[in-house]
């Protein structure tokens, strides 16, 4: 595996260069092209970085012979959810572009893209893979993909978890004062698409949970209802969906309740979707896949099947 990724700018918006980190396996050739796993990081759409890939992602490049792509998106509240979806669409379109093919030496099969993400990034993958929320955001649908792999995803802003203040949150020993987040709470502050995992912004998610602010931070002033991005209800409204879906969630997750993934799985069952897998892992919390020993074999088996 290459020690450093290719860094490709896929969009320039609001004075920002939005970038993809691209890992192409050494075995890929123009006659033996590899599929794409396009991943969005978590952090409530408020924090985080494309540099936050888990060890299993980096190992998968050679182990599973797949092109791993990690994409920027602008962060809320300086960019609201419709703008973030626009960034996801731009990333997907760029992966299918001539510029991407040239940069990767024609060794990647852009017709075989699986969208994925962790936590809020898992939500983005479900939205991008289903098209849910795009029309409400004033956007054309993104390119069709061959699969969706959502890792402990957020799926619905109507969940009581996002509307119940916790002073303090269940997993922190203190109440976070608003003054710690003041520079980031201002929607008119400079826009950004990058927050290092150890940066001051890295407690934004916990403050959001503490104060039950997610819907406000993502949608205030947009005029778009939260229901437009609720995956399970919107799937039921669609009535049918045939793109393969894989979800995985730990059953003791105290940062995104696993019932949100359960609701999506139930909706897929109700509409008789032909290809969906839900794994609920006992005794595992949020971010479990960041542990070096976590290999996510079931997810990569799913990827191999839907991209063959």
DSSP E strand stretches across the chain: 6-13, 16-23, 34-40, 67-71, 108-118, 147-151, 245-250, 276-281
Where residue 30 falls among pLDDT bands split at 50, 70, 90? very high
Average pLDDT estimate for 24-43: 98
| pLDDT confidence of residue 3 | 67
Largest CA distance in the chain: 57
Query: What is the average per-residue pLDDT within 278-287?
Result: 98
CA angle, 175 then 124 then 262, to 5°? 75
pLDDT for 180-236, tens place per residue?
999 999 999 999 999 999 999 999 999 999 999 999 999 999 999 999 999 999 999
Confidence of residue 2 (pLDDT cuts 50, 70, 90): low
DSSP H stretches of helix in 21-135? 55-63, 81-95, 98-103, 120-130
Give every CB contact of residue 14 below 8 A, 6+ residues apart in sequence. 74, 79, 191
Q: What pLDDT, on the 0 to 100 scale, is given for residue 1?
A: 46
The CA distance from 152 to 280, in Å, is: 9
**Res 130: pLDDT:** 98
**pLDDT at residue 277 tops 50:** yes
For range 139-164, the mean pLDDT: 98
CA–CA gap between residue 247 and residue 235 (Å, rounded): 15
Distance CA 137, CA 133 (A): 6
CATH number for the region 6-306 comes to: 3.40.50.1820
Helix spans in 131-279 (H): 182-185, 204-211, 214-219, 231-238, 259-270
- Preceding peptide of 40 cis, ω within 30°: no
Helix, strand and coil in the chain, % to nearest 5: 35, 20, 45
Residue 194: phi and psi, rounded to 5, are: -155, 125
Q: Convert the pLDDT of each residue in 69-124 to its tens digit.
A: 999 999 999 999 999 999 999 999 999 999 999 999 999 999 999 999 999 999 99
Residue 209's contacts (CB-CB under 8 Å, 6 or more residues apart) are: 161, 166, 169, 255
Q: Where are the domains of the chain?
A: 6-306
Q: Are strands 276-281 and 245-250 parallel, antiparallel or unpaired?
A: parallel
| CA-CA-CA-CA dihedral for 288, 294, 299, 303, to nearest 10 | 130
Question: For tokens 């929607």, what's the residue?
Answer: 187
Task: Return the pLDDT at 202.
Answer: 97
Please list, in sequence order, all residues whose beta carbon lies within 8 angstroms of the beta carbon of residue 84, skipping any fewer than 6 positions away: 45, 73, 74, 75, 76, 124
| Cβ partners under 8 Å of residue 201, min gap 6 | 46, 47, 181, 184, 195
**Rounded to an integer, what distance in angstroms lies between the CA atom of residue 110 and that of residue 143?**
11
């Amino acid at each position: 595996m290459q020690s450093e990724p290719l860094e490709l700018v896929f969009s320039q918006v609001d004075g920002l260069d939005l970038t993809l980190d691209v890992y192409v396996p050494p075995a890929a050739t123009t006659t033996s092209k590899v599929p794409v796993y396009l991943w969005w990081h978590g952090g409530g759409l408020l924090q985080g970085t494309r540099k936050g890939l888990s060890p299993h992602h980096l190992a998968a490049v050679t182990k599973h012979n797949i092109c791993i792509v990690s994409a920027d998106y602008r962060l809320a509240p300086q960019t609201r959810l419709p703008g973030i979806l626009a960034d996801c669409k731009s990333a997907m379109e760029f992966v299918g572009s001539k510029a991407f093919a040239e940069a990767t030496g024609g060794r990647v099969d852009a017709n075989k893209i699986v969208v994925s993400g962790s936590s809020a990034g898992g939500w983005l993958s479900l939205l991008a893979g289903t098209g849910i929320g795009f029309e409400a955001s004033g956007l054309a649908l993104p390119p069709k993909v061959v699969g969706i792999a959502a890792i402990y995803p957020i799926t619905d802003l109507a969940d009581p978890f996002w509307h119940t203040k916790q002073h303090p949150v269940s997993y922190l020993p203190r109440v976070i004062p608003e003054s710690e987040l003041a520079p980031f709470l201002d929607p008119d502050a400079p826009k950004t698409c990058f927050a290092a995992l150890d940066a001051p912004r890295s407690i934004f998610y916990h403050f959001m949970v503490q104060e039950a602010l997610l819907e406000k931070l993502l949608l205030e002033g947009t005029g778009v209802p939260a229901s437009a991005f609720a995956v399970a209800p919107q799937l039921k409204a669609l009535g049918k969906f045939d793109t393969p879906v894989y979800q995985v969630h730990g059953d003791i997750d105290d940062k995104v309740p696993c019932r949100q993934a359960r609701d999506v799985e139930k909706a897929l069952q109700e509409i008789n979707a032909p290809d969906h897998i839900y794994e609920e892992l006992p005794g595992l919390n949020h971010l479990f896949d960041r542990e070096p020993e976590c290999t996510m074999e079931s997810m990569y088996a799913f990827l191999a099947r839907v991209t063959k």
